[in-house]
Structure 1
Amino acid sequence: MPPYSLEREMINWKRLWLLIVGLSLVVTYACSPGGDKTFSLPLIRVADFLSRENIHSTPMRGREKQRIDFRVPRKTEVRELVEEKENPWGLIRKWKLGGTEREIIAAPPPTKFDYRGPIHSGAEINFGIGVVSPAEGISSLSSESPQVTFRVILKFKEKEKTLFYKRLTLPSPSQGVSFSFHKVNLSTTAPEARLVFQTEGPSEASSFWINPILISPSRPPLRPIILISIDTLRADHLGCYGYERATSPHMDAVAKEGVLFSQVYAPSPWTLPSHISLLTSLYVYNHQVETENDRLSPAIPTLADILRRNGYYCAAFTGGGFLSTVYGYSRGFDLYRDDLGGVFKQEGAHQVAQASLEWLRQNKDRPFFLFIHTYQPHTPYACPLPYKTRFLSPQAKWGSLDLIGYLGGKQGIFKPLPTEEKENIIALYDAEILYTDEVLIGELMTTLKELNLYHRSLIIITSDHGEEFYEHGSWGHGQDLYDESLRIPLIIKFPEVASGRVKGKRIEELVRLIDVLPTVVDFLGLKGEDEILTQVDGRSLLPMIQGKENSLRESLAEVAADVLSSHLPQRTALIFQGNKLIVNQPFKPEAFKFFAYPPPQLPQVELYDLIQDPQETENLGAKKPKLVRQSIRHLEDLFRLAKKRDKRKARLTQKLKEQLRALGYIK
């Protein structure tokens, strides 16, 4: 018998999946007009098939530029979709209530549209309905108790059946909004059917459908995909990466059942650009979300966009802040929450875990992509007992600490501290990791096993950047490009059918955070996405796992000048063949007035041998001028090829500004 290989196992699994999907396509083509292959997807969003041809009536026809108010004062924000896709008369929108954003189809009465395609026995329709109180109040309407009627009608073979009927009374201005969620099971099989969605009532009513989707049984079911980003997590503070403290038993256990990448680099030392890179597989210079005022361009596809059009329901549970919807993260997601924990909640990881687990229990039978993010290891260090005292010495000065606050804001990041205070800070940071590992990773893995999802799922654990503890003269993150800021964990646990002998495998070669997206696409065998993979900066990790990659990878990292009014200069790093080149722009004169303690005097160029000098203590720039020149020319070539994009600006909400101000990021 030939030796086992992950490649052959995955190829066999892909062949089986493609065979079954292919057979379903044959049946679908025979039954549906035009043989549209999209009808074979296990999950179909009605909004994705909305066109002028299947919208039969709407008061918004010809009023695309007129504002239709779906807002509730102090509670919601509504943005029209800016994605480059068909959006007839502006009906498809994003609707945000509190910290939860969903996609809606605006349906002020009388609105009527339909979805046309085959209906399979065992399918179900999931949707919500809602109505917002008029800006002028109910008195502006003709009826004393005006109502909106919502109907879903199934039409096939000249037959008609009402599947859903409900009336919602328009809420008063004090109530703001009324909405509910519903599920209708379909026992009918119809090769050619129409699902009609209609609203009736006063035309002044701001009524809407919440993301109606048709879910059909899929054989085999699509693999669940779970991507976990633990903010500010250094790889070298995890047990599976050799750390002496027991900070991560649950992550260590996942690593034993998956693949651990020991040399992983983030593209930026702070949250916003690094997470955009994670979800787009683009370096910062290509996606161009460089500062707190930048927003992801709608022309750039994300991992959620890709999985969405391949039949996945996409949900995200995040800590907000620099993962707020204002930065464009919610594109492609059916559900996006940015109100879970933030950086100031002592139990932020617990909050995001509980929200994610509740959603998992309700959606375990859907084909889903779940993105989870927590700020828990980020300062302030104040996780609950007994975790926060786990690693403290008896002489510890602090049981919790807002490090940036203690330093006096960003002005104090270069302040030297006594050794005992540094050890105290690191112990508190390690406690945050342990708490996150227990309440998020541990609880999540336990629940996945209880729901019979663990063995079927592709699970990825990573981070966006690390944290500095004065190794190179500064605290926190966002200013330097040394390994304590850029080296992050990456653990991938494959579904059991494809894991085989890769369990516990350790990859020593350099990889990048931007490699996550193409790895997911490659593993799932999404052949229709080949063109997108030619436009990203990352590469699939599967050839490396299979031992078939011959070329070495390089990584690029950068931070723009004066991000968050920090008075910090622009810096760029190139990591290649065991070396790191860092190009530093000088501090401006006003920076020396801004900082309470003088910043270190850095040379314009730094070059380190990461193999012989992993702590980056000896600058070889003067000793290896030829290598420096070659590396700088390579950087210039990369930036010269950067894609030209129209920069999009983010509109920071007052709440987000308050969060950033409290963190010391803005004044």
Structure 2
Amino acid sequence: MKLLFVDIDTLRPDHMGCFGYLRNTTPNMDMVAREGVIFDNYYCSDAPCLPSRASLISGMFGIKNGAVGHGGTAGDRRLEGPGRSFCDSYDMDNFNNIFRRAGMYTASVSTFPERHSSWWFSAGFNETFNEGHRGVESGEAVLPYVLKWLDDNGTQRDDWYLHVHLWDPHTPYRAPMDFGNPFEGDGLAGTWIDDETLESHIHAVGPHSASELNMFDDNENPDLPRNPGKISCRQDLIRVFDGYDCGVAYTDKIVGEILDKLRTLGIYDDMAVIITSDHGENFGELAIYAEHATADHACCHIPFIIKWPGALKGHTDHGLHYSLDLLPTMSDLLGVDKGSRWDGQSFADTLINGTDQGRESLVISQMAHVCQRSARFGDWLYIRTYHDGFHLFDKEMLFNIKEDVHEQHNLADQYPEICARGAKIILDWHDDAMLSSPYTVDPMWTVMSEGGPFHVRGALDLYCKRLEETGRSEGAQELRRRHMHI
């Protein structure tokens, strides 16, 4: 078995052709989708980057593995503790070791472990390559090593697993300028953001709002011309979308070159290919742009495409799945024993027979920019906010994702019974997780006790001053009232 795992940072499904996007951003990945299975309700359990990959690799929710933030205590995975043997069983039972146990040589091309000091990510790889720029590199720096690795190992080894990590859709948007802009002049035909909506977003309060894309200000870096500092008109909005879509399209070009190499080597047709992401990106949802800052559909809904020998082709699955479900799925497909601590549920039979193995509901979490837990069930997304990350969110928000996928109409006051259902889903999930965990503290409360989400920690006065200087003093006043204890 040969398997290529393409790990694309910050990739929204609805900005890919195979998921219905009008722009031709992903022709190479679309081709893989036609040869395999698409999952269109696939979510990371924990967002953003570090928590998502911690859950994928460990097979456990962040509430159990502990890595739910980007800094502080919750930026590290928990230690196994007194029960630890000669080796940490979290590492021995992780995602990468599934392939080792199946007799495959494992390799990774990624800067993620160094970017987040998350060295547990490398456990189980025979070989790793770190380009060295901690996630700000573009695909052209990664591609040469991938192609060389395939030349050296592609046909020489019978069984291998290669993980390739590409960062180009991640903010700041930085696809090489010589790539050009294939979307220039199209004007975002069909966009949901009309002039009235844009105007409301310009006056919204919160980091990465339209008026401060650079988190707490509107500064621009001349070395990053695709990455504006603010959105003050429709042309700025187009520039933001173009910057992101160029990153997606450039990534697709890199993926295409890797796939061409596999075809040249004569191994593509009989091997497996997985294409997915760690999280999505807010583009106006909850009045946030160019950031992955919430526990919502925009941030936690991710693409999943798999081409697998003997599996279905051209099939789309609509069931609800977590990315951590991939661990037991690979275990089943490769005939490897499952780990006792995994929270995932296999969807292997979906791939082979089209069986519906989706969950009734999901709980998705974000603790790096805000502290939120959300329930995804039926057509609904219920969001419960514990720390608003300076966005002035209501404690409870409810959206009909089928009718309002961009989360513009909070229906919590209209449907209290549905809110109650969502709250119960979160409560039951929380109880089950804590009762099956050796730890007695929910890491969300660790984040709260250490000053709140890492990306807003200590920034209240700075941001309130910014709001006052830009005509939003009422927002500053309300933020100070809410967070006066900080």
**What is the TM-score normalised by the length of structure 2?**
0.74
Structure 2 stretches of 5 or more lacking a match? 80-87, 189-207, 219-228, 444-453, 463-486
Give the one of 304, 307, 317 matched to 1:490: 304
* Contact kept? 1:273, 1:289, Cα under 8 Å: yes
Cα 1:458/1:542, change in 2 over 3 Å: same
SS of structure 1 residue aligned to 2:24: coil
TM-superposed CA distance for 1:512, in Å, is 2.1
* Contact kept? 1:320, 1:339, Cα under 8 Å: no
2:234 is aligned with 1:419:
yes
2:232 is aligned with 1:438:
no
Give the one of 306, 319, 323 matched to 2:111: 319
Give the one of 153, 157, 163 matched to 1:363: 153
Cα separation, 2, equivalents of 1:274 and 1:583: 19
Cα 1:382/1:323, change in 2 over 3 Å: closer
Instruction: Summarize the alignment of residues 273-292 of structure 1 with structure 2, pairs less than 5 Å apart.
Output: 273-292=51-70
Cα separation, 2, equivalents of 1:341 and 1:458: 29
* Contact kept? 1:262, 1:489, Cα under 8 Å: yes
2:321 is aligned with 1:511:
yes
Instruction: Summarize the alignment of residues 248-267 of structure 1 with structure 2, pairs less than 5 Å apart.
Output: 248-267=26-45
2:427 is aligned with 1:622:
no
Q: Quote the residue 2:85 is aligned against.
A: none
* Contact kept? 1:392, 1:428, Cα under 8 Å: no
Higher normalized helix content (fraction of residues): 2
Cα separation, 2, equivalents of 1:620 and 1:553: 21
Cα 1:313/1:551, change in 2 over 3 Å: closer
Cα 1:512/1:408, change in 2 over 3 Å: closer
2:143 is aligned with 1:349:
no
Q: Quote the residue 2:333 is aligned against.
A: 523
- Cα deviation digits, residues 136-184 of structure 1 (max 9, x gap): xxxxxxxxxxxxxxxxxxxxxxxxxxxxxxxxxxxxxxxxxxxxxxxxx
TM-superposed CA distance for 1:243, in Å, is 0.7
Cα 1:447/1:415, change in 2 over 3 Å: closer
SS of structure 2 residue aligned to 1:503: coil
- Cα deviation digits, residues 270-293 of structure 1 (max 9, x gap): 110111222222222122111234
Cα separation, 1, equivalents of 2:213 and 2:303: 30
TM-superposed CA distance for 1:550, in Å, is 6.1
Cα separation, 2, equivalents of 1:311 and 1:485: 35
- Cα deviation digits, residues 480-513 of structure 1 (max 9, x gap): 2232212211100112xx14xx211111222221
* Larger Cα-atom Rg: 1
Residue identity matched to 2:289: W
Cα 1:536/1:503, change in 2 over 3 Å: same
* Contact kept? 1:228, 1:462, Cα under 8 Å: yes
Q: Quote the residue 2:423 is aligned against.
A: 632
Structure 1 stretches of 5 or more lacking a match? 1-222, 397-402, 592-598, 650-659
TM-superposed CA distance for 1:407, in Å, is 3.7
Cα separation, 1, equivalents of 2:133 and 2:423: 41
* Contact kept? 1:462, 1:489, Cα under 8 Å: yes
Q: Quote the residue 1:71 is aligned against.
A: none
* Contact kept? 1:391, 1:428, Cα under 8 Å: no
Cα separation, 2, equivalents of 1:436 and 1:390: 13
Cα separation, 2, equivalents of 1:486 and 1:289: 16
Q: Quote the residue 1:158 is aligned against.
A: none
How much identity, in percent, do the aligned residues show? Answer: 26
- Cα deviation digits, residues 593-638 of structure 1 (max 9, x gap): xxxxxx4432111122222332222223223323322332332222
Give the one of 386, 407, 410 matched to 2:215: 410
TM-superposed CA distance for 1:435, in Å, is 0.9
Cα 1:627/1:470, change in 2 over 3 Å: closer
* Runs of 4+ residues over 6 Å off in structure 1: none
TM-superposed CA distance for 1:395, in Å, is 10
Between the two proteins, the alignment pairs up a number of residues equal to 397
- Cα deviation digits, residues 106-149 of structure 1 (max 9, x gap): xxxxxxxxxxxxxxxxxxxxxxxxxxxxxxxxxxxxxxxxxxxx
Q: Quote the residue 1:644 is aligned against.
A: 438
Higher normalized strand content (fraction of residues): 1
Cα separation, 1, equivalents of 2:97 and 2:402: 39
Q: Quote the residue 2:102 is aligned against.
A: 310
Cα 1:611/1:326, change in 2 over 3 Å: closer
